[in-house]
Amino acid sequence: MKTAIVIVVLPLALSTVAFAVAFADFGTEKQSNWHHWRGPEINGVSRTANPPTTWSEQENVKWKVAVDGKGTSTPIVWGDRVFLLTAIDTKQVDPTLSKPEDQAERPFGITYPNTTYEFVVICLDRHTGKEIWRRTAADKIPHQGHHGDNSFASASPTTDGKRLYAWFGSVGIFCYDLNGDLLWKRDLGTVETRLSFGEGSSPVVHGNRVVINRDNESDSKITVLDAGTGDFVWQEQRDEPSAWATPLIVEHGGRTQIITNASNRVRSYDLVDGELNWECGGQMGNVTPSPVRFDNVVICMSGYKGYSALALPLDSQGDITESEKIAWSKNRATPYVPSPLLYDDLLYFNQSNDAILSCLNARTGEAEISPTRIPKIRGIYASPVGANDRVYVTGRDGATVVLRHGNRFEVLAENQLADGFDASPALVDNQLLLRGRSYLYCISEE
Q: What are phi and psi for residue 102, nearest 5 degrees?
A: -100, 0
Secondary structure (3-state) at 37: coil
Q: How far is Cα 85 from Cα 137, in angstroms, rounded to an integer?
A: 10
Nearest alpha carbon to residue 332 among 308, 314, 356: 308
Give the residue-averaged pLDDT of 295-322: 98
Q: How far is Cα 332 from Cα 356, in angstroms, rounded to an integer?
A: 11
As a whole number, the mean pLDDT across the chain is 93
Give the residue-averaged pLDDT of 288-296: 98
Nearest alpha carbon to residue 320 among 280, 354, 284, 264: 280
Give the residue-averaged pLDDT of 45-74: 97
CATH number at residue 260: 2.130.10.10
Give the residue-averaged pLDDT of 66-83: 97
How much is the pLDDT for 28? 60
* Count of domains forming the chain: 1
pLDDT digit string, tens, across residues 214-262: 999 999 999 999 999 999 999 999 999 999 999 999 999 999 999 999 9
Residue 217: CB atoms within 10 Å = 15
Dihedral of CA 69/382/271/310: which sign?
Answer: negative
Q: What are phi and psi for residue 29, nearest 5 degrees?
A: -60, -35
How much is the pLDDT for 31? 80
How much is the pLDDT for 27? 52
- 230-265 burial: b if 16+ Cβ within 10 Å, else e: beebbeeebebbbbbbbbbbbbbeebbbbbbbbbbb
The answer to whether the predicted template modeling score (pTM) of the entire model surpasses 0.75 is: yes
> What is the percent of the chain with per-residue pLDDT over 70, rounded to a whole number?
93
Tell whether 1 is covered by a domain. no
Q: Torsion angle of alpha carbons 283, 289, 290, 291, nearest 10°?
A: -50
412 and 422 Cβ atoms separated by less than 8 Å: no
**Residue 9 pLDDT more than 50?**
no
Tell whether 164 is covered by a domain. yes
Tell whether 421 is covered by a domain. yes
Secondary structure (3-state) at 100: helix
Burial class (CB in 10 A: 0-12, 13-18, 19+), 192: middle
142 and 113 Cβ atoms separated by less than 8 Å: yes
Residue-number span of the structural domain to which 150 is assigned? 13-443
Tell whether 175 is covered by a domain. yes
Tell whether 31 is covered by a domain. yes
Q: What's the DSSP call for residue 142?
A: -
33's CB contacts (< 8 A; 6+ apart) are 40, 77, 78, 79, 161, 428
pLDDT digit string, tens, across residues 374-410: 999 999 999 999 999 999 999 999 999 999 999 999 9
Tell whether 3 is covered by a domain. no
110 and 148 Cβ atoms separated by less than 8 Å: yes
CA distances from 10 to 21, 28, 32, 258, 279 (A): 9, 11, 18, 18, 26
